[in-house]
Chain A
Amino acid sequence: MTTKQIHSPQTSILNDPFKEQQHHEQEQEAVNRKEEQLVHIIPSTEKIVPPLNFCPVERYLYRSGQPSPVNFPFLSSLNLRTIIWLNNEDPQDSLLEFCDYNDIFLQFAAINPDGGEDDNPWDGLNEKSISNALKTLVNKENYPLLVCCGMGRHRTGTVIGCLRRIMKWNLASCSEEYRRFTGSRGGRILVELLIEGFDTSKIEINEATAPEFMLNALR
C-alpha cells in the first residue's frame, strides 16, 4: 500500500472490501494513538507503587529508599532531573538503566570519598559527603530531585535534616522528621549529632539559583 492510498478519498472505500478493511484498521490505529495520549490524563487501573519510605520533602524535592523496577512508573510521573544516591556501592542495574533512559542525572554522593581502604558500606555520612549532596540540593537547576539511599532512613535522613537546619528549622522538628522514617529500631544518636553539629554557613546559598522554598525560608 502506498502513501497515496492512505489519503485516498472515502468514496472508493465503500465498494471495495479490502479498502474498507484497510480504512477500518487506520481508524482503529488513530483511536489507539488517541488513547495513548489520554493515558496521562485518565487514571489507569494499574496501582501506583511509590518507593519504600517515599515522601515529598518540599515542592519537587522527594526522599525514598532505593527505587526498584516496580516503582518506575511512579518515578516517571515525577519527571525527575536528578537522583542523589547516598551509597558507596552502585545501585541496582535497573535503576542505572532507568536513569539512563529517562535522562536523569544520577549523582553518587560517596559516603567517605577519601576513605580508601577504610571505606565501609555501613558507615554514616560525614560532613564532606553531606556538603556534596547539599550543594546539589540548593541549586534549582537540579530539580525535580530525589534523595535516596538503601532504605531511605539514616543517610537520606541526615541530608534532609541538614537541609532543614539550613532552612532554620529548630532541631526538635528536624529530629522528629528524621525519626518518622527510621522504622521500628528508631533513630541513631550519631545521625542526630551530625545534624545538630552541621555548620550551615558552609553551604553557600546563591539567590539566583536557590529553589523557591529555600528563598522563602531565608528571607
Chain B
Amino acid sequence: MQKEELSELLKEYEIGAIDINQLSEKLRTQLHLGKNGKALASLKDCPEFLPLANKILSNEDDSTDPLKYNTEGEEDEDQEGNGQEFDEDVDDKFDEEEQKWRSKHFLAHQEHTERDMTQDHRAPRTVDASFSQEMFPPENFSNVIGEIYRSSFPRRENLQFLKKQIKLKSVLVLLPEEYPQDLLQVMTDNDIQLFQCPMQGNKEPFIHIPDKTLTNALTIVLNPENHPILIHCNKGKHRTGSLVGCIRKLQNWSLTMIFDEYRKFAFPKARALDQQFIEMFNTKDIENVSMKNGWLPIEW
C-alpha cells in the first residue's frame, strides 16, 4: 500500500484542489486501485481513510449507468461470504480506456485510408479496396464446436467480421463489468443479443465459482436458438477457457486433451486453478437440462 502517495492525494482533496471524481479517478490510475469494492478493500489497511473510501464508493455507485444489466442477484450470490474482492490480473480486468483508445486509433487509420481513396481517383483501386475489405477477427478467436465461437473482448473493428463472416446472433460475456455503450449500440443495430453471466477469475485465494454459474452459462451456450454465439471474457483465456473446458467435458473428452486445449488458448498464462475447476465441475445439472431439450450430443 503506497501510504505516502495516498496521504498526498487526500490532502489535495481536503484543500479542494481536486474534487471527489478526480480523486477516485486518481486512486484508480495512479495507485492502481480497482473500482468500487477494490478501492475500499485496499483502503482497509488505513482505517483513518475508511470514511472517505465509503464516500468514494457511494459516489461511484451513483454515477453508474441506469442501463446496467439485471444480473445483480446472481452476482451477489457469487460473492456471498467473500466480503471483499481480490485484485485480479490486469488481463482479467476489462479496461474500457484501452479499448476505446485502440478502436479510435484503428478507426482513424481506416478513415484516413478511405479518405485517401476518394481523394485520389488515380490511385490503384484494387490495392486500397482490398485493405478496407480486410477482416479483423478478435484476438484469440476460434471456433469451438458447431456454431459456438470464442474470443477475447471484441472491439468495434471486429464487429464487421463477426457480422459478415460469422453472422453472429448472440454474445455471451463472462465479465461482471458493464458493457461499453458504443459496442452495445452497434450490436443492437445488428440484432445481436447480449447475454451476461458474470464469473470471477479463478485466482487464489479461495475464490469459489459455483457450478450453478457455469450451468447457467452453458444453458445459454448450448441452446441452438442462440447460435451462432460468441463466448468472450477479456482476453479469452481464463474464464472463456474454463467454460469451453466444460463444453468439452459434456462431449466426454479426456481431461488431458481438454487441458491441452485450455493451455493453448491461455498461453503463456495458463492457470492450474482453472484446470482444476474444469476437472471438478459437475456436469450433472447441465446434462439433465440438455437431455431434456435434446441438445446432446452437440453437433460438429
Contact = CB atoms under 8 A, between A and B. Distances in A.
Interface of A: 40-41, 43-50, 54-60, 77-79, 144, 167-170, 173, 176-177, 180-181, 213, 216-217, 219
B140 A176 contact: yes
Contacts of B140: 176, 180
B13 interface: no
B253 interface: yes
A181 B253 contact: no
Contact of B300 (A43, A56, A173, A181): A56
18 contacts: A40-B297, A41-B297, A43-B252, A43-B297, A46-B252, A48-B251, A50-B253, A50-B257, A55-B261, A60-B300, A77-B297, A168-B130, A168-B134, A169-B134, A177-B141, A180-B264, A216-B166, A217-B135
Contacts of B255: 47
B281 interface: no
Nearest to B255: A47
B143 A48 contact: no
Interface of B: 130, 133-137, 139-147, 164-167, 250-257, 261, 264-265, 267, 296-297, 300
B129 to A, nearest CB: 11
A43 B288 CA distance: 12
A9 B5 CA distance: 95
Contacts of B130: 168
B204 to A, nearest CB: 25
Given A170-B135, A173-B137, A180 B267 contact: yes
Contact of B164 (A41, A50, A219): A219
A44 B300 contact: no
A216 B163 CA distance: 10
A216 B165 contact: yes
A56 B252 contact: no
A211 to B, nearest CB: 12
A216 B167 contact: yes
Contacts of A56: 142-145, 300
Contact of A170 (B136, B165, B250, B256): B136
B136 to A, nearest CB: 5
A213 B136 CA distance: 15
**Which of A44, A167, A169 has its CB near the most chain B CB atoms (within 10 A)?**
A169
Contacts of A219: 164
A14 to B, nearest CB: 38
B62 to A, nearest CB: 41
Question: When A and B form their complex, which 10 residue pairs have the shortest distance between CB atoms, in order from nearest?
Answer: A47-B254, A56-B143, A168-B135, A48-B252, A49-B254, A48-B253, A173-B137, A170-B134, A216-B165, A217-B165
Contacts of B143: 55-59
Contact of B147 (A46, A50, A59): A59
A47 B135 contact: no
A167 B136 contact: no
Nearest to B158: A173
Given A173-B136, A180-B267, A48 B254 contact: yes
Contact of A176 (B139, B256, B296, B300): B139
Contacts of A60: 300
Contacts of B250: 43
Nearest to B131: A170
Nearest to B167: A216
**Which of B142, B143, B250 has its CB near the most chain A CB atoms (within 10 A)?**
B143
Given A43-B297, A60-B300, A77-B300, A181 B254 contact: no
B141 A49 contact: no
A148 to B, nearest CB: 15
A43 B296 contact: yes
A89 B22 CA distance: 67
Contacts of A173: 135-137, 139, 141
B219 to A, nearest CB: 18
Given A56-B142, A169-B137, 5 more contacts: A43-B251, A44-B252, A47-B255, A56-B144, A176-B140
Nearest to A183: B264
Nearest to A71: B257
Nearest to A180: B264
Contacts of B251: 43, 48
Contacts of B146: 59
A173 B141 CA distance: 9
B231 to A, nearest CB: 14
A43 B283 CA distance: 12
Given A46-B252, A48-B253, A144-B300, A167 B145 contact: no
B198 to A, nearest CB: 27
B252 A47 contact: yes
Contacts of A144: 300
Contact of B165 (A41, A44, A167): A167
